[in-house]
Amino acid sequence: MEQVMASIPDFEIAETGISKDNSAEAEQFKIRVDEIFQKVDELGQKVNEVEQFNLNSSKKQQSSSKGSSMGKERDKGRQVPSIKKQQQDASRREAAAAKRMQELMRQFGTIVRQITQHKWAWPFMQPVDVKGLGLHDYYEIIEKPMDFSTIKNQMEAKDGTGYKNVRDICADVRLVFNNAMKYNDEGSDVHLMAKTLLEKFEEKWQLLLPKVTEEERRRDEEEAEAQLDKQLVREAAHAKVIRDLCNELYEVDTHLEHLRETVVQKCRKMSTEEKRNLGTAIARLSMEDLNKALEIIAQSNPAFQAMAEEVEIDIDAQSESTLWRLKFFVKDALELQSRSAMSTGGNNNNYNNKRKKEICNAIAKTAKKKSKKTSS
Protein backbone atom coordinates (compact mmCIF):
# COMPACT_ATOMS: atom_id res chain seq x y z
CA MET A 1 0.00 0.00 0.00
CA GLU A 2 2.90 2.34 0.73
CA GLN A 3 4.18 1.82 -2.83
CA VAL A 4 0.82 2.76 -4.26
CA MET A 5 0.67 5.98 -2.27
CA ALA A 6 4.25 6.79 -3.20
CA SER A 7 3.35 6.57 -6.89
CA ILE A 8 1.24 9.70 -6.55
CA PRO A 9 3.42 12.80 -7.15
CA ASP A 10 3.99 15.42 -4.51
CA PHE A 11 1.75 17.94 -6.22
CA GLU A 12 -1.39 16.05 -5.21
CA ILE A 13 -1.22 17.37 -1.69
CA ALA A 14 -0.15 20.84 -2.79
CA GLU A 15 -2.06 23.98 -2.04
CA THR A 16 -4.88 24.93 -4.37
CA GLY A 17 -3.05 28.02 -5.54
CA ILE A 18 -4.85 30.46 -3.27
CA SER A 19 -2.51 31.95 -0.69
CA LYS A 20 -2.90 31.13 3.00
CA ASP A 21 -3.65 34.77 3.68
CA ASN A 22 -6.90 34.31 1.75
CA SER A 23 -8.15 31.35 3.82
CA ALA A 24 -11.35 33.20 4.76
CA GLU A 25 -12.00 33.96 1.12
CA ALA A 26 -11.33 30.32 0.24
CA GLU A 27 -13.91 29.28 2.81
CA GLN A 28 -16.41 31.59 1.13
CA PHE A 29 -15.68 29.89 -2.17
CA LYS A 30 -16.32 26.51 -0.53
CA ILE A 31 -19.67 27.71 0.80
CA ARG A 32 -20.68 28.98 -2.61
CA VAL A 33 -19.67 25.69 -4.22
CA ASP A 34 -21.74 23.79 -1.64
CA GLU A 35 -24.73 25.99 -2.47
CA ILE A 36 -24.28 25.25 -6.15
CA PHE A 37 -24.13 21.51 -5.46
CA GLN A 38 -27.35 21.76 -3.49
CA LYS A 39 -28.96 23.68 -6.35
CA VAL A 40 -27.78 21.05 -8.82
CA ASP A 41 -29.40 18.32 -6.69
CA GLU A 42 -32.69 20.20 -6.74
CA LEU A 43 -32.47 20.65 -10.50
CA GLY A 44 -31.70 16.95 -10.84
CA GLN A 45 -34.98 16.11 -9.10
CA LYS A 46 -36.86 18.44 -11.44
CA VAL A 47 -35.18 16.81 -14.44
CA ASN A 48 -36.37 13.40 -13.17
CA GLU A 49 -39.92 14.75 -12.89
CA VAL A 50 -39.74 16.09 -16.44
CA GLU A 51 -38.46 12.73 -17.74
CA GLN A 52 -41.24 10.88 -15.90
CA PHE A 53 -43.87 13.22 -17.35
CA ASN A 54 -42.47 12.69 -20.86
CA LEU A 55 -42.50 8.92 -20.33
CA ASN A 56 -46.13 8.94 -19.16
CA SER A 57 -47.18 11.26 -22.00
CA SER A 58 -45.48 8.99 -24.52
CA LYS A 59 -47.36 5.96 -23.20
CA LYS A 60 -50.68 7.82 -23.36
CA GLN A 61 -50.02 8.91 -26.93
CA GLN A 62 -49.24 5.34 -27.95
CA SER A 63 -52.40 4.01 -26.31
CA SER A 64 -54.54 6.66 -28.04
CA SER A 65 -52.81 6.43 -31.43
CA LYS A 66 -55.95 5.00 -33.01
CA GLY A 67 -57.39 8.55 -33.28
CA SER A 68 -57.78 9.92 -36.80
CA SER A 69 -55.13 12.14 -38.38
CA MET A 70 -57.79 14.80 -38.92
CA GLY A 71 -58.46 14.87 -35.19
CA LYS A 72 -54.76 15.20 -34.47
CA GLU A 73 -54.45 18.15 -36.86
CA ARG A 74 -57.38 19.81 -35.13
CA ASP A 75 -55.75 19.29 -31.73
CA LYS A 76 -52.53 20.99 -32.89
CA GLY A 77 -54.26 24.35 -33.28
CA ARG A 78 -56.24 23.99 -30.09
CA GLN A 79 -55.79 26.75 -27.51
CA VAL A 80 -54.88 25.86 -23.96
CA PRO A 81 -57.86 26.63 -21.68
CA SER A 82 -57.39 27.93 -18.15
CA ILE A 83 -58.36 25.76 -15.19
CA LYS A 84 -61.25 28.13 -14.42
CA LYS A 85 -62.54 27.86 -17.98
CA GLN A 86 -62.23 24.07 -17.78
CA GLN A 87 -64.39 24.06 -14.66
CA GLN A 88 -66.96 26.35 -16.26
CA ASP A 89 -67.09 24.26 -19.43
CA ALA A 90 -67.40 21.05 -17.43
CA SER A 91 -70.27 22.52 -15.42
CA ARG A 92 -72.07 23.61 -18.59
CA ARG A 93 -71.51 20.24 -20.24
CA GLU A 94 -72.84 18.34 -17.25
CA ALA A 95 -75.92 20.55 -17.02
CA ALA A 96 -76.66 20.19 -20.75
CA ALA A 97 -76.08 16.43 -20.68
CA ALA A 98 -78.34 16.05 -17.63
CA LYS A 99 -81.07 18.02 -19.39
CA ARG A 100 -80.81 15.85 -22.52
CA MET A 101 -80.89 12.69 -20.41
CA GLN A 102 -83.96 13.92 -18.57
CA GLU A 103 -85.69 14.35 -21.93
CA LEU A 104 -84.76 10.79 -22.91
CA MET A 105 -86.02 9.50 -19.58
CA ARG A 106 -89.27 11.41 -20.10
CA GLN A 107 -89.70 9.74 -23.47
CA PHE A 108 -88.84 6.39 -21.93
CA GLY A 109 -91.45 7.09 -19.24
CA THR A 110 -94.04 7.33 -22.01
CA ILE A 111 -93.07 3.82 -23.15
CA VAL A 112 -93.36 2.51 -19.58
CA ARG A 113 -96.84 4.04 -19.20
CA GLN A 114 -97.97 2.48 -22.47
CA ILE A 115 -96.76 -0.96 -21.32
CA THR A 116 -98.23 -0.67 -17.82
CA GLN A 117 -101.62 0.41 -19.23
CA HIS A 118 -101.91 -2.84 -21.17
CA LYS A 119 -104.61 -5.18 -19.92
CA TRP A 120 -102.03 -7.89 -19.17
CA ALA A 121 -99.71 -5.65 -17.11
CA TRP A 122 -101.46 -6.07 -13.74
CA PRO A 123 -99.35 -9.09 -12.50
CA PHE A 124 -96.18 -7.00 -12.83
CA MET A 125 -97.26 -3.74 -11.20
CA GLN A 126 -96.34 -4.62 -7.60
CA PRO A 127 -93.67 -6.80 -5.98
CA VAL A 128 -94.52 -10.51 -6.04
CA ASP A 129 -96.35 -11.54 -2.85
CA VAL A 130 -94.03 -14.44 -2.17
CA LYS A 131 -95.39 -15.24 1.28
CA GLY A 132 -99.07 -14.76 0.42
CA LEU A 133 -98.82 -16.95 -2.67
CA GLY A 134 -96.71 -19.56 -0.89
CA LEU A 135 -93.84 -19.29 -3.37
CA HIS A 136 -91.25 -20.86 -1.05
CA ASP A 137 -88.64 -21.35 -3.78
CA TYR A 138 -89.03 -17.92 -5.39
CA TYR A 139 -85.84 -16.38 -3.98
CA GLU A 140 -83.90 -19.51 -4.85
CA ILE A 141 -84.81 -19.06 -8.53
CA ILE A 142 -85.02 -15.28 -8.81
CA GLU A 143 -81.84 -13.46 -7.81
CA LYS A 144 -83.15 -9.89 -8.16
CA PRO A 145 -86.94 -9.34 -7.97
CA MET A 146 -88.27 -6.36 -9.94
CA ASP A 147 -91.69 -4.74 -10.59
CA PHE A 148 -93.04 -1.55 -12.17
CA SER A 149 -93.84 0.20 -8.87
CA THR A 150 -90.17 -0.09 -7.93
CA ILE A 151 -89.15 1.19 -11.36
CA LYS A 152 -91.56 4.14 -11.07
CA ASN A 153 -90.21 5.08 -7.62
CA GLN A 154 -86.65 5.00 -9.00
CA MET A 155 -87.60 7.16 -11.96
CA GLU A 156 -89.27 9.77 -9.72
CA ALA A 157 -86.59 9.80 -7.00
CA LYS A 158 -85.36 13.32 -6.19
CA ASP A 159 -82.69 12.44 -3.61
CA GLY A 160 -80.06 11.37 -6.15
CA THR A 161 -80.70 7.65 -5.70
CA GLY A 162 -82.75 7.30 -8.89
CA TYR A 163 -81.77 6.20 -12.38
CA LYS A 164 -78.95 8.09 -14.05
CA ASN A 165 -79.24 6.47 -17.46
CA VAL A 166 -82.06 5.28 -19.72
CA ARG A 167 -80.33 1.95 -20.29
CA ASP A 168 -80.54 1.23 -16.55
CA ILE A 169 -84.34 1.62 -16.66
CA CYS A 170 -84.48 -0.54 -19.79
CA ALA A 171 -82.54 -3.28 -18.01
CA ASP A 172 -84.99 -3.28 -15.08
CA VAL A 173 -88.05 -3.39 -17.37
CA ARG A 174 -86.58 -6.43 -19.09
CA LEU A 175 -85.82 -7.94 -15.70
CA VAL A 176 -89.53 -7.71 -14.70
CA PHE A 177 -90.60 -9.86 -17.64
CA ASN A 178 -87.58 -12.16 -17.67
CA ASN A 179 -88.13 -12.98 -13.97
CA ALA A 180 -91.75 -13.85 -14.68
CA MET A 181 -90.82 -16.09 -17.63
CA LYS A 182 -88.05 -17.72 -15.64
CA TYR A 183 -90.19 -18.61 -12.61
CA ASN A 184 -93.43 -19.53 -14.44
CA ASP A 185 -93.68 -22.44 -16.84
CA GLU A 186 -93.71 -21.67 -20.54
CA GLY A 187 -97.32 -22.73 -20.99
CA SER A 188 -98.66 -20.70 -18.07
CA ASP A 189 -100.69 -17.49 -18.43
CA VAL A 190 -98.14 -15.32 -16.58
CA HIS A 191 -95.32 -16.60 -18.80
CA LEU A 192 -97.33 -15.80 -21.96
CA MET A 193 -98.34 -12.34 -20.65
CA ALA A 194 -94.74 -11.49 -19.76
CA LYS A 195 -93.43 -12.67 -23.14
CA THR A 196 -96.05 -10.66 -25.03
CA LEU A 197 -95.41 -7.43 -23.09
CA LEU A 198 -91.63 -7.85 -23.44
CA GLU A 199 -91.96 -8.07 -27.21
CA LYS A 200 -94.11 -4.91 -27.27
CA PHE A 201 -91.59 -3.15 -25.06
CA GLU A 202 -88.67 -4.12 -27.32
CA GLU A 203 -90.50 -2.73 -30.37
CA LYS A 204 -90.99 0.64 -28.67
CA TRP A 205 -87.44 0.59 -27.27
CA GLN A 206 -85.99 0.17 -30.76
CA LEU A 207 -87.66 3.43 -31.76
CA LEU A 208 -85.97 5.31 -28.92
CA LEU A 209 -82.63 3.51 -29.13
CA PRO A 210 -81.09 5.71 -31.91
CA LYS A 211 -81.56 8.79 -29.73
CA VAL A 212 -79.98 6.99 -26.78
CA THR A 213 -77.04 5.88 -28.93
CA GLU A 214 -76.56 9.41 -30.26
CA GLU A 215 -76.56 10.82 -26.73
CA GLU A 216 -73.95 8.26 -25.63
CA ARG A 217 -71.77 9.11 -28.63
CA ARG A 218 -72.06 12.81 -27.84
CA ARG A 219 -71.14 12.21 -24.20
CA ASP A 220 -68.07 10.19 -25.22
CA GLU A 221 -66.94 13.00 -27.52
CA GLU A 222 -67.44 15.63 -24.83
CA GLU A 223 -65.53 13.52 -22.33
CA ALA A 224 -62.70 13.10 -24.85
CA GLU A 225 -62.68 16.89 -25.37
CA ALA A 226 -62.54 17.46 -21.62
CA GLN A 227 -59.67 15.00 -21.24
CA LEU A 228 -57.81 16.72 -24.08
CA ASP A 229 -58.23 20.10 -22.38
CA LYS A 230 -56.83 18.64 -19.16
CA GLN A 231 -53.90 17.16 -21.05
CA LEU A 232 -53.19 20.50 -22.75
CA VAL A 233 -53.17 22.25 -19.37
CA ARG A 234 -50.79 19.62 -17.97
CA GLU A 235 -48.52 19.99 -21.00
CA ALA A 236 -48.56 23.79 -20.71
CA ALA A 237 -47.58 23.52 -17.04
CA HIS A 238 -44.91 21.01 -18.02
CA ALA A 239 -43.56 23.37 -20.69
CA LYS A 240 -43.32 26.12 -18.07
CA VAL A 241 -41.38 23.76 -15.78
CA ILE A 242 -38.95 23.07 -18.64
CA ARG A 243 -38.51 26.80 -19.35
CA ASP A 244 -37.91 27.53 -15.68
CA LEU A 245 -35.52 24.59 -15.49
CA CYS A 246 -33.54 25.86 -18.48
CA ASN A 247 -33.32 29.31 -16.91
CA GLU A 248 -32.15 27.87 -13.59
CA LEU A 249 -29.55 25.70 -15.34
CA TYR A 250 -28.32 28.76 -17.21
CA GLU A 251 -28.04 30.68 -13.93
CA VAL A 252 -26.09 27.84 -12.32
CA ASP A 253 -23.81 27.61 -15.35
CA THR A 254 -23.22 31.38 -15.27
CA HIS A 255 -22.56 31.26 -11.54
CA LEU A 256 -20.06 28.43 -11.97
CA GLU A 257 -18.28 30.23 -14.79
CA HIS A 258 -18.04 33.40 -12.70
CA LEU A 259 -16.79 31.40 -9.73
CA ARG A 260 -14.20 29.63 -11.88
CA GLU A 261 -12.89 32.87 -13.32
CA THR A 262 -12.71 34.41 -9.84
CA VAL A 263 -10.75 31.43 -8.52
CA VAL A 264 -8.35 31.58 -11.49
CA GLN A 265 -7.74 35.29 -10.84
CA LYS A 266 -6.94 34.50 -7.22
CA CYS A 267 -4.59 31.65 -8.13
CA ARG A 268 -0.89 32.20 -8.53
CA LYS A 269 0.89 31.06 -11.70
CA MET A 270 1.88 27.42 -11.73
CA SER A 271 5.62 26.84 -11.48
CA THR A 272 7.68 24.85 -14.00
CA GLU A 273 8.15 22.11 -11.39
CA GLU A 274 4.40 21.89 -10.82
CA LYS A 275 3.74 21.69 -14.55
CA ARG A 276 6.27 18.84 -14.87
CA ASN A 277 4.65 17.01 -11.94
CA LEU A 278 1.25 17.57 -13.53
CA GLY A 279 2.41 16.02 -16.81
CA THR A 280 3.83 13.04 -14.90
CA ALA A 281 0.60 12.64 -12.95
CA ILE A 282 -1.57 12.75 -16.08
CA ALA A 283 0.45 9.82 -17.43
CA ARG A 284 -0.58 7.79 -14.36
CA LEU A 285 -4.33 8.27 -14.82
CA SER A 286 -6.62 5.41 -15.76
CA MET A 287 -7.85 5.39 -19.34
CA GLU A 288 -11.26 6.71 -18.30
CA ASP A 289 -9.79 9.57 -16.25
CA LEU A 290 -7.23 10.28 -18.98
CA ASN A 291 -10.05 10.88 -21.46
CA LYS A 292 -11.71 13.23 -18.96
CA ALA A 293 -8.44 15.15 -18.60
CA LEU A 294 -8.27 15.51 -22.38
CA GLU A 295 -11.82 16.85 -22.37
CA ILE A 296 -10.78 19.53 -19.86
CA ILE A 297 -8.03 20.64 -22.25
CA ALA A 298 -10.42 20.61 -25.20
CA GLN A 299 -12.93 22.85 -23.39
CA SER A 300 -10.54 25.80 -23.42
CA ASN A 301 -8.95 24.88 -26.75
CA PRO A 302 -11.55 24.12 -29.46
CA ALA A 303 -8.81 23.14 -31.92
CA PHE A 304 -7.59 20.35 -29.63
CA GLN A 305 -8.78 16.94 -30.88
CA ALA A 306 -9.29 14.95 -27.68
CA MET A 307 -10.48 11.84 -29.54
CA ALA A 308 -7.94 11.94 -32.38
CA GLU A 309 -5.77 8.88 -33.05
CA GLU A 310 -2.64 10.89 -32.24
CA VAL A 311 -2.75 13.45 -29.45
CA GLU A 312 0.05 15.89 -28.58
CA ILE A 313 -0.19 17.66 -25.24
CA ASP A 314 1.89 20.74 -24.49
CA ILE A 315 1.49 21.47 -20.77
CA ASP A 316 3.33 24.79 -21.07
CA ALA A 317 0.90 25.99 -23.75
CA GLN A 318 -2.18 25.54 -21.53
CA SER A 319 -3.88 28.49 -19.85
CA GLU A 320 -3.62 28.95 -16.10
CA SER A 321 -7.32 28.14 -15.84
CA THR A 322 -6.84 24.82 -17.64
CA LEU A 323 -3.73 23.94 -15.63
CA TRP A 324 -5.43 24.45 -12.29
CA ARG A 325 -8.55 22.58 -13.42
CA LEU A 326 -6.32 19.71 -14.52
CA LYS A 327 -4.43 19.80 -11.24
CA PHE A 328 -7.60 19.60 -9.12
CA PHE A 329 -9.05 16.86 -11.31
CA VAL A 330 -5.88 14.76 -11.40
CA LYS A 331 -5.43 15.10 -7.63
CA ASP A 332 -8.91 13.73 -6.95
CA ALA A 333 -8.62 11.03 -9.62
CA LEU A 334 -5.28 9.71 -8.29
CA GLU A 335 -6.55 9.67 -4.72
CA LEU A 336 -9.55 7.64 -5.85
CA GLN A 337 -7.28 5.30 -7.82
CA SER A 338 -5.06 4.75 -4.80
CA ARG A 339 -8.02 3.85 -2.59
CA SER A 340 -9.31 1.51 -5.27
CA ALA A 341 -5.87 -0.10 -5.65
CA MET A 342 -5.57 -0.62 -1.90
CA SER A 343 -9.03 -2.19 -1.68
CA THR A 344 -8.08 -4.67 -4.46
CA GLY A 345 -4.63 -5.46 -3.06
CA GLY A 346 -2.81 -3.38 -5.66
CA ASN A 347 -3.82 -5.62 -8.56
CA ASN A 348 -4.78 -2.87 -10.92
CA ASN A 349 -3.86 -3.63 -14.54
CA ASN A 350 -5.88 -0.91 -16.24
CA TYR A 351 -2.79 1.01 -17.35
CA ASN A 352 -1.87 -1.19 -20.31
CA ASN A 353 -4.32 0.35 -22.70
CA LYS A 354 -2.74 1.15 -26.09
CA ARG A 355 -4.33 4.58 -26.43
CA LYS A 356 -3.17 5.54 -22.94
CA LYS A 357 0.43 4.68 -23.84
CA GLU A 358 0.18 6.77 -26.98
CA ILE A 359 -1.05 9.80 -25.03
CA CYS A 360 1.60 9.35 -22.34
CA ASN A 361 4.27 9.13 -25.04
CA ALA A 362 2.87 12.30 -26.58
CA ILE A 363 3.32 14.14 -23.27
CA ALA A 364 6.89 12.86 -22.94
CA LYS A 365 7.63 13.70 -26.59
CA THR A 366 6.40 17.26 -26.14
CA ALA A 367 8.43 17.64 -22.95
CA LYS A 368 11.61 16.47 -24.77
CA LYS A 369 11.01 19.00 -27.54
CA LYS A 370 10.72 21.74 -24.94
CA SER A 371 13.94 20.67 -23.15
CA LYS A 372 15.90 20.53 -26.45
CA LYS A 373 14.78 24.01 -27.39
CA THR A 374 15.78 25.27 -23.92
CA SER A 375 19.23 23.62 -24.03
CA SER A 376 19.99 24.90 -27.55
* Nearest of 49, 193, 109, 239 to residue 247 by alpha carbon: 239
Predicted pLDDT of residue 123: 95
Predicted pLDDT of residue 78: 56
The pTM for the full model equals: 0.48
Domains of the chain and CATH, by start: 83-238 (1.20.920.10), 270-308+317-335 (no CATH)
Predicted pLDDT of residue 127: 95
Number of neighbours of residue 126 by Cβ within 10 angstroms: 11
* Nearest of 352, 354, 337 to residue 289 by alpha carbon: 337
What does pLDDT average to in each consecutive run of 10 residues of the chain (376 residues)? 39 47 65 73 73 66 52 52 70 84 92 95 95 94 96 89 91 97 95 97 96 92 81 74 77 75 71 86 86 82 66 77 84 86 60 53 59 56
**What's the CA gap between 126 and 132, in Å, rounded?**
13
